[in-house]
Structure 1
């Protein structure tokens, strides 16, 4: 364990207050894995070096299951003596225990604040896949660990059975779970609308394309809270492409900017994407607010505009039929109107920038 942590410290910056080095975000595609798990709503993906409690892991199991849409914020009963009804994870702990994903201890205790070990985490994810106690003989724990390795649920995880899980380990474990077939032969991630790319990784875009809500521009935290159908405190939040804490000062600072913040959200995963209007992102989306000063038409097509120019001096390319129609003579937007554009930025080999409009909000 010490060797593992020491090796990991070469790949990450150590927190100033850390007692031991952080473990590595071990794979080259960890950022992809983190985004997928964040979008899925299984867990909040900030502070990935934090250790995970049994209560938190019970919540992750429920969020990765079909029970996610039915769990209430408060349990009606107290199943364990040390998990009162008003415990943050009481409902999830009850479900995890009732479904046999996690076990309690003698004396009617669950020990929700103790840290989850790999051994107990493996029991939970195998149960989600449909494996039962009867599928394992002899040493149940050892047999489960063998199945865990056989199914390659250990990809990018280098741990012993009794080691304590950190959030980065859980990100890898649940990502591997999503790619693994259940006992019926179906990829588990299909319950969360996951699809694989040609190289065998989960495509994060297909998870949100059909149910992404927005855009909306908000200029205060109260407006943001009123717009979302769930509490911001329960959400996975990304600001200008980076995962942030849902109470982050960065969100407050962005909301205080003069042109506000562009908002998209995904209800099922309780994920929120915020984009500071006026901040240009090299990857992902950007937003610009301004007055339309010119609509540009291609000389070979005088019906469909090819671009618009805002009073910031930038040209924004129109490539989709929907965007071309909106800014054409048939649409509702005219020179002199103010608009918030949602666009992507790309740079070619010569350093030339192209801003392509993918959405807009009429002021």
Structure 2
């Protein structure tokens, strides 16, 4: 897809994973935090009330680190007696232990199914920031917690050292990490393409840059796997705006009940957005496959098309300069051509629907 068309579509990508804005400022702030952490690929942000296991937290730490590209589904070696090589977190646990982000227990166990405490999590977070054991004197745990508070990694977290962390806590913790300077003095989030806005928050739109690829329509799960540059089993996946597991029956069912699935992906975060062709979404983007039957021009501007009609009978509005050019007499698309449209759907207070084209794939 052309760079300009990608830039025009970026804002809508975010809408695909957005939730309805809350009234309170605190809720709005957390929505932003969840969005940023989700796009970063650090963790899946569903089921926020669930406690986080040590195995899951090891995966989060590695996903936030420069080792994220080396993680595989299995580990070549079994570092801990209670973590077999085929454990889903085996590779992350091995890396987290080797880098000193997390410790094992006496007897050679890691206890991957036990829940993570704040003090254990703080050790890993400070490790990502470049702090080592030699940076803390006396009571190592107490010194680390003091540094954790000093660096304001505790923003929106109200947990004691031995309390267990939920996924919501981890969203806050990793968002704070992204804003914090490393021991060397650089903002940690820069390694994940994070930029701060004028009010000191991370701008999620800057994270979804030209490294995003798509759109493409695929017709089977195997073709989806072939299209992605990373394993589908490693991906954070959204189907029609909702997070789903990569092994979910929902993905298989979607392929069985449609002519195709529209795909966008972001390599850095290993995030995949899937949209069922023909399934309209009020809170994100939708896709339609059809033949162009009419190109509509505004009576005051006979050179610039304002909309097109497909053989499904729907009218699709053209508002951006690039989309108007593509469907004009100067563009490549003509009446009778087949096209996959990517569009947003909105409904006004009187129930009138507007479908606005943001992208297309020439069939």
Which TM-score band (shorter chain)?
0.7 to 0.9
CA distance in 2, matches of 1:263, 1:82: 38
CA distance in 2, matches of 1:194, 1:352: 38
Match of 1:154 in 2: 154
Match of 1:222 in 2: 222
SS at match of 1:165: coil
Q: Deviations over 1:274-296 (max 9, x none)?
A: 11222222232122222212112
Match of 1:10 in 2: none
SS at match of 2:345: strand
Uncovered stretches (5+) of structure 1, i.e. residues with no partner: 1-25
Q: Deviations over 1:230-254 (max 9, x none)?
A: 3322211112212122233332333
Mapped contact 1:178–1:187 kept (Cα < 8 A): yes
Match of 2:261 in 1: 261
Mapped contact 1:33–1:175 kept (Cα < 8 A): yes
Cα shift at 1:158: 2.2
Match of 1:129 in 2: 129
Q: Deviations over 1:14-61 (max 9, x none)?
A: xxxxxxxxxxxx844333322222221112223223322222211111
Q: Deviations over 1:122-159 (max 9, x none)?
A: 11001111222233233221222222222222222222
Give the 5 Å matches for 1:135-284. Answer: 135-284=135-284
CA distance in 1, matches of 2:172, 2:73: 26
CA distance in 2, matches of 1:216, 1:67: 29
Match of 2:104 in 1: 104
Q: Deviations over 1:248-279 (max 9, x none)?
A: 33323332333332111112221111112222
Q: 1:58 to 1:217 in 2, by over 3 A?
A: same
Match of 2:37 in 1: 37
Cα shift at 1:350: 6.9
CA distance in 1, matches of 2:70, 2:222: 27
Match of 2:11 in 1: none
Mapped contact 2:73–2:234 kept (Cα < 8 A): no
CA distance in 2, matches of 1:45, 1:230: 20
Cα shift at 1:352: 5.3
Q: 1:253 to 1:84 in 2, by over 3 A?
A: closer
Q: 1:133 to 1:318 in 2, by over 3 A?
A: same
1:343 aligns with 2:343: yes
Cα shift at 1:178: 0.9
Normalised TM-score (structure 2): 0.84
CA distance in 1, matches of 2:29, 2:207: 18
Normalised TM-score (structure 1): 0.84
Q: 1:290 to 1:39 in 2, by over 3 A?
A: same
SS at match of 1:66: coil
Match of 1:327 in 2: 327
Q: Deviations over 1:73-120 (max 9, x none)?
A: 443333333334333323222221222111122233322222211110
CA distance in 2, matches of 1:45, 1:115: 17
Match of 1:285 in 2: 285
Q: 1:200 to 1:242 in 2, by over 3 A?
A: farther
SS at match of 1:29: helix
CA distance in 2, matches of 1:180, 1:105: 30
CA distance in 1, matches of 2:261, 2:78: 41
Match of 1:306 in 2: 306
Mapped contact 1:45–1:236 kept (Cα < 8 A): no
Moved more, 349-358 or 310-319: 349-358
Match of 1:7 in 2: none
RMSD over aligned CA atoms reads 2.3
